């Protein structure tokens, strides 16, 4: 098997067995990037020299028996909103076109400790605001299953890089579905852990109370292994939670006997594509055949999640993005007269449309006289949504539904109608509002061969139930294949607008 | 002026807390380091950095709240105050608006007439300080130093309960003493570790409604505060008398010109878009924590004065001066504990110490000599190992450099000379050199002996016991 086709667990085993070295693995990945990234544009920055140097150092430790874990020597791609010391970190924004962090995000540090080799930084929607990776200042990323389609977003570069074999796995961040939805569009496995499980230190914040870092992988086994590596209690993040149960790989068990699974009727209603609906319900049947108890129920309040989410996330974003002012780092306008003018021009020129739209929306809902009517009301809705999930989890171990209403849209279709784009987040955002874990994994393809994602949602700290259910389903489903691992391998056929 | 006016004043007092590290990161708070050397990703607003509350800040804030009779909020939160300015690296300040840590307290002040008056405290909240902007005239650019960014502050907001500059100063003195006694801050107005903004309005005596207030900033001394209050009261009365209205605005006091000018009015006031900081978890104050802080509250000034009266038998006036500074009181108690002579310790503090403080324009908080050294100096004088004048000389050096008096006396050869032979030799020389004075004494002019003692002491460089000199001189002259 080619290195580029292997999962992280497979590759690390091959490196341990001496079939391939960490340096060879990195070289093969870099060659794949060279070959394909011109088409897919998964990366903003590729750190060839750095990756090879890391690979050499890691190989020495593997040889010395100091590194034995499932990520040792495995090449990884990091979403470009995670700080990496000495390596450009842009958030896919012109605003940070020259920003080189002085420190590394805790989650990335955890990967480095596990021996993963960082290939580079992946493309994304600017500051993680978007669902298609089209709002990047560094060009769109294309879906490896069909380059005429988006990879989803905001972690689109990470999902596409895994699907295109341009890395073995990747890190993304999920504020309203930004890991799970691109995983679904690219036929990969993506997980947003319980809020507080992975340290946010070094993650350039979008919506601080909703952001979580998580893995994008080729299968559920890798997902568990990566999550196990990146989870840690971190004193530098006040919202970090001390957990004793982060041995997630122990949940890779093929057994759902008696597992109670609920499907919200609200997640199967209007707006859901028929093919997606059918594939998701078929996956539920598969789980039922494996011994799970599957039921339909009413979750309620689903329609209020989107306005609550866009109010809270935009409010936090408007404040989080204030530090980008052209003074300390990042983009500064060329000509200006006085301080106020410099702020105004730097921010007008440095931020893209979608970011500016959300800053304005967020500033509005926090402004004096509107705070109670919008922001506080949204917080109350958030509390009610959490309560609705609490009630559901009294009856069910896992909630099952689609990740997104459709498969990956064509490039250019989404940005024209932002409201429609926001509505596409309907099945993912409630999970962030309630701080719950959610996993996305492929459960079929539509008539055009584009992947369909299945979402499993668990109660807080119940990732293991999700991993067990997802692993069991994955086994019964059989191999799904990664992106262009088919006849369209070079991706140059059709579909790409010139 | 036909009508009688009353001034109504409320204060917003910022106090820099004496923690070793900043409020949301581990950077040092030491003053005076080279620019931007006490910074990290958190206090310089780097992307992706996150704040973590320094528990010591919370403890100090609660301790101040308890000392000022506040209710302690058991579930407090931090909020972001959003505004753009380069000294503020995140462009929001982490502060408290909705659930501040302390509320509804009061302190008692003495009024001019000798009575007691309560000044209400609306709230106390915790927040971070901003960095410092330096304008480089030469290069025509502004530079920013983030060493101060993230230094912990509490803001104590009073109710509009004060009516004069005297009351304002009494209130500030009271706060300063309480906080110094807690060790929560050194509260130096000049150095900015205590800063007061004055909210002031005037109204006709007897009026129920408050007038429109202004907020005065940049007040760096008690004198400046007094002058600003007088100036602003006059300005507002003049406006009202002229039929104009007072505009609600922030004004900056220029103490050298003795006038203020408007900085910004309420009309163009910023909307700070306060909201709870999602990076910080709410602060839960447990019964246990509260109990612990309450138990650790120090003896405050009134209790201390009472105890001094009972324990030490020194004059009330001395007690008042000594307890006015926690630091001086600490020196007094420690030195007394060693030498067991409260009156003598007090004399050194009331005499030489105050004199030198006045001369050097220093604060009681800056006293550097250790109580051990003061006790030793007293012992040296008691044992007549040094003379009174030498003791004063040594003390002055102790005041400057906190030297060990015993070692200093030794090294400088300042010990009293009790060797009678050398004393008689010197006296013989003095007698020979001053025949006129000797003759005067012999002819009955008693005063002349004083001059001769002085001359001998001078020749002995002060190291002789004046009583012994006096005695031997008389003997030698009569011979």
CA distance A234 to A200: 9
Residue A205: list chain B partners with CB under 8 A: 47-48, 279
Please give the average per-residue pLDDT across B249-276, as a whole number. Answer: 87
Ranges A359-368, B187-196, B433-442, most confident: A359-368
Averaged pLDDT of chain B: 92
Tokens found for residue A114? 């596990």
Q: How many Å separate Cα B371 from the centre of its chain?
A: 19
**Which domains can be identified in chain B, with CATH numbers?**
5-289 (no CATH), 299-412 (no CATH), 420-478 (1.10.10.410)
Please state, as a whole number, how many other Cβ atoms lie within 10 Å of the Cβ of residue A18.
9
Q: Which of B154, B7, B162 is nearest to B70 (CA)?
A: B154
| β-pair type (B5-16, B152-158) | antiparallel
Size (chain A), residues: 498
Please indicate whether, in this complex, the C-beta atoms of B84 and A200 are within 8 angstroms of each other: no
DSSP states along B339-359 = H--HHHHHHHIIIIIHHHHHH
User: What's the Cα-to-Cα distance from B450 to each of A29, B177, B217, B391, B470, rounded to whole Å?
Assistant: 102, 47, 59, 21, 8
User: What's the Cα-to-Cα distance from B182 to each of A247, A394, A463, B64, B255, rounded to whole Å?
Assistant: 47, 50, 48, 7, 31
Please state, as a whole number, how many other Cβ atoms lie within 10 Å of the Cβ of residue A124.
32
Say what the pLDDT of residue A498 is. Answer: 31
Say what the pLDDT of residue A487 is. Answer: 38
Q: Which of A380, A192, A392, A399 is nearest to A287 (CA)?
A: A399
CA distance B338 to chain A (A): 45
Please state, as a whole number, how many other Cβ atoms lie within 10 Å of the Cβ of residue A250.
13
> Would the pLDDT of B363 be above 90?
no
Within a domain: A339: no
Say what the pLDDT of residue A496 is. Answer: 36
Please state, as a whole number, how many other Cβ atoms lie within 10 Å of the Cβ of residue A292.
24
Q: Which residue of A has its CA nearest to B90?
A: A323
Catalytic residue among A131, A154, A232, A440: A154
Please indicate whether, in this complex, the C-beta atoms of B273 and A318 are within 8 angstroms of each other: yes
Interface membership of A371 toward B (CB under 8 Å): yes
Residue-range definition of the domain harbouring residue A429? 3-299+389-477
* pLDDT tens digits for range A310-320: 999 999 999 99
Q: Which residue of A has its CA nearest to B145?
A: A328
Say what the pLDDT of residue A332 is. Answer: 97
Q: Which of A441, A187, A394 is nearest to A299 (CA)?
A: A394
How many Cα neighbours within 13 Å face the side chain of A408? Answer: 37
Averaged pLDDT of chain A: 95
Residue B401 — left, alpha, or beta (φ > 0 → left; ψ -120 to 50 → alpha)? alpha
Q: How confident is the model at residue B268 (pLDDT cuts 50, 70, 90)?
A: low
Say what the pLDDT of residue B265 is. Answer: 66
Within a domain: A322: no
* Out of B45, B273, B275, closest to residue A323 by CB: B45
Catalytic residue among A12, A158, A173, A178: A178
Tokens found for residue B245? 């209205």
Q: Which residue of B has its CA nearest to A313?
A: B278
Say what the pLDDT of residue B225 is. Answer: 96
* Out of A204, A325, A368, closest to residue B48 by CB: A204
Tokens found for residue B325? 């500074």
Longest dimension (CA), chain A: 70
Say what the pLDDT of residue B69 is. Answer: 97
Catalytic residue among A12, A79, A199, A465: A79
Residue A324: list chain B partners with CB under 8 A: 47
Q: Would you say the C-alpha torsion A124, A129, A131, A135 has a positive or negative sign?
A: negative
Say what the pLDDT of residue B453 is. Answer: 87
Q: Which of A437, A383, A400, A457 is nearest to A174 (CA)?
A: A437
Please indicate whether, in this complex, the C-beta atoms of B90 and A323 are within 8 angstroms of each other: yes
Q: How many Å separate Cα B415 from the centre of its chain?
A: 37
Residue B90: list chain A partners with CB under 8 A: 322-323
CA distance B110 to B162: 12
Catalytic annotation present for A79 = yes
Local structure of residue B130 (DSSP, 8 states): P
pTM value is 0.89
Q: Which backbone phi and psi does A261 adopt, to 5 degrees? A: -115, 130
Within a domain: A173: yes
Please indicate whether, in this complex, the C-beta atoms of A327 and B90 are within 8 angstroms of each other: no
Of A248-257, A307-316, B206-215, B419-428, the range with the lowest mean pLDDT is B419-428
DSSP states along A364-426 = HHHSTTTIIIIIIHHHHHHHHHHHHHHHHHHH-SEEEEESSSSSPPBTTSSTT-HHHHHHTTT
Interface membership of A343 toward B (CB under 8 Å): yes
* Out of A96, A200, A323, closest to residue B89 by CB: A323
Tally helices (H) and strands (E) across chain A: 15, 11
Within a domain: A71: yes
Q: How confident is the model at residue B267 (pLDDT cuts 50, 70, 90)?
A: low
Residue with tokens 């979608």: A354
CA distance B230 to chain A (A): 35
Question: B297-325: buried (b, 16+ CB within 10 Å) or exposed (e) per residue?
Answer: eeeebeebbeebeeebebeeebbebbbbb
CA distance A106 to chain B (A): 10
Angle at B17 between CA B160 and CA B162, to 5 degrees: 15
CA distance B46 to B42: 6
CA distance B163 to B227: 15
Say what the pLDDT of residue B266 is. Answer: 61
Q: Would you say the C-alpha torsion A90, A341, A375, B94 has a positive or negative sign?
A: positive
Say what the pLDDT of residue B471 is. Answer: 83
* pLDDT tens digits for range A468-492: 999 999 999 999 976 554 434 343 3
Strand partners, A441: A454
Interface membership of A370 toward B (CB under 8 Å): no
Please indicate whether, in this complex, the C-beta atoms of A237 and B50 are within 8 angstroms of each other: yes
Tokens found for residue A442? 């492929």
Q: Which residue of B has its CA nearest to A363?
A: B273
Please give the average per-residue pLDDT across A380-385, as a whole number. Answer: 97
Q: Which of B456, B417, B450, B464 is nearest to B433 (CA)?
A: B456
* pLDDT tens digits for range A57-113: 999 999 999 999 999 999 999 999 999 999 999 999 999 999 999 999 999 999 999
Residue A309: strand, helix, or coil: helix
* pLDDT tens digits for range A24-42: 999 999 999 999 999 999 9
Within a domain: A381: no
Secondary-structure breakdown of chain A: helix, strand, coil percentages, each rounded to the nearest 5? 40, 15, 45
Say what the pLDDT of residue B56 is. Answer: 98
Catalytic annotation present for A363 = no
Please give the average per-residue pLDDT across B349-359, as a whole number. Answer: 95
CA distance B172 to B225: 10
CA distance A202 to A129: 18
Q: Which of A342, A354, A359, B85 is nearest to A367 (CA)?
A: A359
Q: Would you say the C-alpha torsion A54, A55, A60, A62 has a positive or negative sign?
A: positive
Interface membership of A337 toward B (CB under 8 Å): no
Catalytic annotation present for A368 = no
Say what the pLDDT of residue B1 is. Answer: 52
Residue A77: strand, helix, or coil: strand
Residue B51: list chain A partners with CB under 8 A: 238
Tokens found for residue B386? 């040094």
Please state, as a whole number, how many other Cβ atoms lie within 10 Å of the Cβ of residue A352.
19
CA distance A210 to A175: 5
Q: How many domains does chain A have?
A: 1
Local structure of residue A146 (DSSP, 8 states): B
Task: CATH number of the domain at A217, please.
Answer: 3.90.1300.10
CA distance B408 to B392: 13
Instruction: Report the share of chain B in percent with pLDDT over 70.
Output: 98
Secondary-structure breakdown of chain B: helix, strand, coil percentages, each rounded to the nearest 5? 40, 20, 40
Interface membership of A315 toward B (CB under 8 Å): yes
Within a domain: A362: no
Q: Which backbone phi and psi does B323 adopt, to 5 degrees? A: -80, -5
Within a domain: A341: no
Interface membership of A242 toward B (CB under 8 Å): no
Residues 6+ apart with CB under 8 A from A162: A77, A168, A169, A170, A186, A188, A216, A217, A218, A482
Within a domain: A144: yes
Please give the average per-residue pLDDT across A433-446, as a whole number. Answer: 98
Query: What radius of gyration, in Å, describes the C-alpha atoms of chain B?
Result: 30
* pLDDT tens digits for range A210-226: 999 999 999 999 999 99
């Amino acid at each position: 098997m080619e290195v580029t086709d292997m999962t992280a667990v497979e590759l690390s085993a091959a490196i341990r067995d001496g079939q391939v070295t960490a340096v060879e693995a990195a070289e093969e990945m870099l060659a794949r990037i060279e070959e394909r990234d011109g088409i897919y544009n998964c990366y903003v920055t590729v750190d060839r020299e750095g990756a090879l140097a890391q690979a050499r150092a890691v190989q020495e430790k593997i040889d010395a028996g100091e590194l034995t874990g499932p990520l040792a020597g495995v090449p990884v791609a990091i979403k470009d909103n995670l700080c990496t010391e000495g390596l450009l970190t842009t958030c896919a924004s012109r605003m940070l076109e020259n920003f080189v962090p002085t420190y590394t995000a805790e989650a990335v540090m955890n990967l480095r400790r596990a021996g993963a080799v960082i290939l580079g930084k992946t493309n994304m929607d600017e500051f993680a605001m978007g669902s298609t990776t089209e709002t990047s200042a560094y060009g769109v990323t294309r879906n490896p299953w069909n380059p005429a389609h988006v990879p989803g977003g905001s972690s689109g570069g990470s999902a596409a890089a895994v699907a295109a074999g341009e890395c073995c796995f990747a890190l993304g961040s999920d504020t309203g579905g930004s890991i799970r939805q691109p995983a679904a569009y690219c036929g990969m496995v993506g997980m947003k852990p319980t809020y507080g499980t992975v340290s946010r230190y070094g993650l350039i914040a979008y919506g601080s109370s909703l952001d979580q870092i998580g893995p994008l992988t080729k299968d559920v086994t890798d997902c568990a292994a990566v999550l196990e590596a990146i989870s840690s209690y971190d004193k530098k993040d006040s919202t970090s939670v001390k957990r004793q149960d982060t041995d997630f790989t122990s949940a890779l068990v093929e057994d759902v006997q008696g597992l109670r699974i609920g499907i919200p009727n609200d997640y199967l209603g209007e707006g859901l594509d028929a093919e997606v609906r059918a594939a998701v319900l078929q996956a539920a049947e598969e789980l039922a055949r494996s011994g799970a108890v599957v039921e339909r129920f009413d979750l309620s309040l689903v329609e209020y999640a989107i306005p609550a989410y866009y109010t809270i996330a935009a409010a936090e974003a408007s404040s989080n993005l204030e530090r980008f002012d052209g003074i300390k780092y990042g983009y500064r306008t060329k000509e200006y007269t006085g301080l106020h003018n410099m702020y105004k021009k730097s921010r007008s020129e440095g931020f893209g449309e979608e970011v500016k739209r959300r800053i304005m929306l967020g500033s509005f809902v926090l402004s004096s006289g509107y705070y109670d009517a919008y922001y506080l009301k949204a917080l109350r809705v958030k509390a009610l949504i959490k309560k609705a999930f609490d009630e559901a989890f009294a009856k069910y171990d896992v909630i099952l539904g689609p990740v997104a209403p459709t498969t990956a849209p064509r490039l250019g279709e989404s940005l024209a109608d932002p409201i429609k784009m926001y509505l596409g987040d309907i099945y993912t955002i409630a999970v962030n509002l309630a701080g719950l874990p959610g996993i996305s994994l492929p459960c079929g393809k539509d008539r055009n061969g584009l992947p369909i994602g299945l979402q499993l949602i668990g109660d807080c700290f119940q990732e293991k139930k999700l991993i067990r259910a997802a692993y069991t389903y994955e086994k019964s489903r059989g191999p799904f294949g990664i992106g262009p691992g088919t006849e369209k391998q070079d991706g140059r056929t059709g579909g790409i607008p010139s | 002026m036909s009508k009688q006016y009353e001034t109504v004043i409320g204060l917003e007092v910022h106090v820099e807390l004496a923690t070793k590290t900043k409020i949301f990161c581990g950077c040092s708070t030491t003053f005076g380091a080279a620019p931007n050397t006490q910074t990290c990703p958190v206090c310089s607003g780097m992307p992706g950095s996150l704040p973590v509350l320094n528990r010591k800040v919370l403890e100090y804030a609660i301790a101040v709240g308890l000392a000022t009779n506040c209710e302690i909020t058991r579930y407090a939160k931090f909020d972001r105050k959003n505004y753009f300015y380069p000294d503020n690296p995140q462009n929001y300040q982490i502060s408290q608006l909705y659930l501040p840590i302390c509320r509804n307290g009061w302190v008692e002040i003495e009024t001019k007439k000798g009575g007691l008056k309560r000044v209400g405290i609306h709230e106390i909240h915790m927040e971070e300080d901003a960095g410092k902007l330096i304008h480089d005239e030469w290069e025509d650019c502004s530079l920013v130093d983030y060493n101060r960014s993230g230094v912990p502050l509490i803001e104590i907001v009073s109710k509009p309960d004060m009516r004069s500059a005297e009351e304002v100063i009494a209130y500030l003195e009271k706060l300063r003493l309480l906080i110094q006694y807690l060790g929560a801050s050194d509260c130096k107005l000049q150095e900015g570790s205590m800063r007061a903004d004055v909210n002031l309005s005037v109204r006709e005596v007897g009026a129920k409604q408050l007038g429109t207030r202004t907020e005065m900033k940049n007040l760096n001394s008690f004198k400046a505060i007094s002058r600003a209050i007088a100036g602003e009261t006059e300005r507002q009365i003049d406006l009202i008398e002229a039929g104009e209205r007072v505009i609600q605005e922030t004004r900056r006091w220029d103490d050298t010109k003795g006038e203020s000018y408007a900085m910004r009015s309420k009309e163009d006031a910023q909307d700070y878009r306060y909201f709870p900081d999602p990076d910080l978890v709410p602060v839960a104050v447990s019964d246990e924590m509260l109990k612990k802080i309450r138990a650790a509250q120090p003896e405050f000034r009134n209790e201390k004065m009472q105890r001094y009266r009972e324990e030490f038998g020194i004059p009330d006036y001395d007690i008042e001066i000594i307890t006015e500074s926690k630091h001086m009181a600490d020196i007094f108690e420690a030195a007394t504990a060693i030498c067991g002579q409260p009156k003598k310790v007090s004399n050194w503090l009331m005499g030489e110490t105050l004199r030198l403080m006045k001369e050097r324009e220093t604060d009681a908080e800056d006293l550097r000599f250790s109580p051990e050294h003061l006790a030793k100096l007293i012992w040296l004088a008691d044992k007549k190992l040094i003379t009174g004048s030498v003791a004063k000389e040594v003390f002055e050096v102790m005041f400057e450099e906190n030297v060990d008096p015993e070692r200093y006396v030794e090294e400088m050869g300042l010990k009293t000379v009790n060797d009678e032979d050398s004393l008689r030799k010197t006296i013989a020389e003095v007698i020979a050199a001053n025949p006129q004075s000797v003759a005067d004494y012999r002819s009955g002019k008693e005063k002349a002996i004083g001059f001769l003692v002085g001359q001998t002491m001078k020749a002995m460089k002060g190291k002789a016991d004046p009583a012994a000199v006096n005695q031997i001189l008389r003997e030698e002259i009569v011979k």
